[in-house]
Structure formats: C-alpha cells, structure tokens
Amino acid sequence: MRRLTRTVATAALATALALVSACGSGSDSADDTKGVDSGALQKITYLTSFGNFGRDSYAWVAKDKGFFKEAGFDVEIKAGQGTGGVIQTVVGGQADFGPIDLTGGLLQVGNGQAKDFTVVAAIQQRTMAGIASVEGKNIATPKDLEGKKLADTPGSVVRNLFPTYARLAGVDASRVTWVNGEAQALIGTLASGAVDGIGQFVVGQPTIEAVAKKKAVMLPYSNVMPDLYGNVLITSAKIAKEKPEMVKKFTAALLKGLEYSLANATEAGEILKKNVDAANPVAAAAELELMAAYVRSGNTGAAIGTVDSGRVATSIALLQGAGALKQSVTPEQIIDFSLVPKA
C-alpha cells in the first residue's frame, strides 16, 4: 500500500476534488430494438454513481473500446451525484441507466422516498461504504467514533446507513455528530483537520493518504454487514418493462467494460483521463485495483453482475431488524431477475 500511496501522491488532490460532468442532450425515446437492427445507434444517457473517479471509469472504457457501439448504442456519460440523485434522474427520464448503492436504494424504497426504478445487474458484490479517518484522531474501532465529528453529504448511503451500522457495531449513534459537507471537498475537509472522519468508499484510501499525508484508517461497513451488496445498475421501471432486450444488451456492454477495466486498470485510468481532463489516471487505476475484490463473487465462480435473491432478502431482514425500514420490501419489488445476468 505504501508504494501505491507514493504513486498517487503527486496528483491525488485533483482527483479528490474533481467531479467533472460530461455535457449533452437527454435520452432518446427510440423503440427497443431500434439502432441495433437498423444500423443507427440508439442514444442512451448514462449516469456514473458519483462524479468521475476511477471507481466509475468502466463506463468510459466501455465507450472508448467500442463495447457500447458494438451493442448498438451511442452513450452519453454524465457525472452522477449519489444514490438519491441517480434514482431521481433515472425515474424522471433525464437518464436511462446509472449505478446506485443497493442498500441505499432499499432504504429509499422502504421509507417511501423513491419508487419506479428497477435493478438489472450488480456492479459490486459487497458494499464499499464506510467511514474514513486518519492517524492521530484516536479512531481504530467503530466504538471510537463516539464523541467524534463526521462529515458527509446529507443523502449519502454511508450517512443514511450509519444508524444501522452503529447499532450492529455497538456504537451509540447519538454520541456521533454529523455535519454536512460538499462531496467534492470531503477528503480535503478531513485532511484539514476540520472533522474526525468522513463517509467514504473504501477505495478512496490511497487518495486520502496522499492528500492528508497521513495513514488512513478505514472502517468498512462490510465488516459488520457482510451480506450487503455495493453498487447495482438501475433503469426506470418503464424502460425495464417496455425494452427488456435493450436493457440486456446495454447491461452486457457495460459489464464488459467493467471486466476489461479490472483486468487493465492502468489503461482504464488513461481512458478516463482522455475523456475527463481533471481525472488522475494513476489514482483511477489504484481505485480499480482495490475495487476488484468487491466486484467478483468470492470463490463462487458466479459471473460478474449477478444478484442473489437470498442475499438481498437477508439484507432486507437486517435492515428491518435494525428498524431502518418503515415498510416491508421484497427483492422482487426492486430487482427484475429476468434481466439480471445469470450465475
């Protein structure tokens, strides 16, 4: 990890602060098979999960390597702003696809905050959500978060899931202070000493260490909630119902980009830089290297993108047991298993 941190140190601040959005028009309303059969590419608007960090570079790879075009799509990639924002934009028709944190999606549905979206594939088999701090803050275990100040955006999955994490980890959540922070500035806020920790995906560790010039302390939520999935690909319920073959073809092309990116992290970082001026290709590659362990299904041999209904049901039961859901939710309520890649 030292070597990795030294490598990204020179340019990591730009990556930590940059969330660059691509510009362009909205989604096309073409028929399900238009473009693939006729030769005219179907226009698709895709949102990243959050900005244009390395963890989302696989979409740019799928576009650059021609995977989208081979499947019949002309894809515009825009920077997403987290689970809540991606759901709202996709359901509202301003985008066709985008990744969200599955647990965040369950919380939104189970608390009446969102509906009318459909999960069609997994991106990460385990959640990457967690709390990040640095040495010198006296944080080594979840219990150490009591009496500390943490920053995150109000709608982030890390923050929304924290009460459940705290309960399972034996933390008195009432003794933890949360303050609002801008997504682009969270790592800088931690590095400045203004807060004791931040909500952060675990793949942000190398960038945190480079910016803060200190060893990062990571508290992954997956340590106490191992059944939780990470990001999943969603589309609107309308598109899933009316254009299932289009959904399958797009999903396959995107997952091809994901698999290629994990196998060729350095090239993927360069592709991201080619498309996003503010991106740091070395830091992007580092994120992909760390993310690889979260994308594959352990030793099961299951294909990338698969979703297991039993695991999702377990996650729902965990959230219900922690009192995090106001109403019941079933896996089939938000996941179309006929569209999800087969194991």
At 313, list the tokens.
Answer: 């049901």
Residue type, 30: A
The pLDDT of residue 214 is 95
- Say whether 130-223 and 2-126+229-334 share the same fold: yes
* 134, pLDDT greater than 50: yes
Exposure of 343 in the CB half-sphere (CA atoms within 13 A): 12
Identify whether the C-beta of residue 161 lies closer than 8 Å to the C-beta of residue 129.
yes
* 64, pLDDT greater than 80: yes
Identify whether the C-beta of residue 243 lies closer than 8 Å to the C-beta of residue 97.
no
Nearest C-alpha neighbor of 99 from the set 250, 319, 264, 205: 250
Q: Which residue has the higher pLDDT, 259 or 51?
A: 259
Identify whether the C-beta of residue 23 lies closer than 8 Å to the C-beta of residue 90.
no
Q: CA–CA separation, 141 vs 145, rounded Å?
A: 8
* 118, pLDDT greater than 70: yes
Other C-beta atoms within 10 Å of 6: how many?
12
Mean pLDDT for all residues in the chain: 87
In this prediction, residue 30 has a pLDDT band, given cuts at 50, 70 and 90, of very low
CATH 3.40.190.10 fits 130-223, yes or no: yes
pLDDT tens, residue by residue, 232-242: 999 999 999 99
Homologous superfamily, domain 2-126+229-334: Periplasmic binding protein-like II (3.40.190.10)
The pLDDT of residue 298 is 63
Lowest mean pLDDT among 59-63, 77-81, 207-211, 231-235: 207-211
Q: What burial letters (b/e) apply to 140-149, b meaning 16+ CB within 10 Å?
A: eebebbeebe
Domain boundaries, the chain: 2-126+229-334, 130-223
Name, in order, each residue with C-beta under 8 angstroms of 263's C-beta and a sequence gap of 6 or more. none
In this prediction, residue 299 has a pLDDT band, given cuts at 50, 70 and 90, of low
pLDDT tens, residue by residue, 191-248: 999 999 999 999 989 888 888 999 999 999 999 988 899 999 999 999 999 999 999 9
Nearest C-alpha neighbor of 216 from the set 205, 207, 204, 201: 205
* 295, pLDDT greater than 70: yes
At 299, list the tokens.
Answer: 């030793």
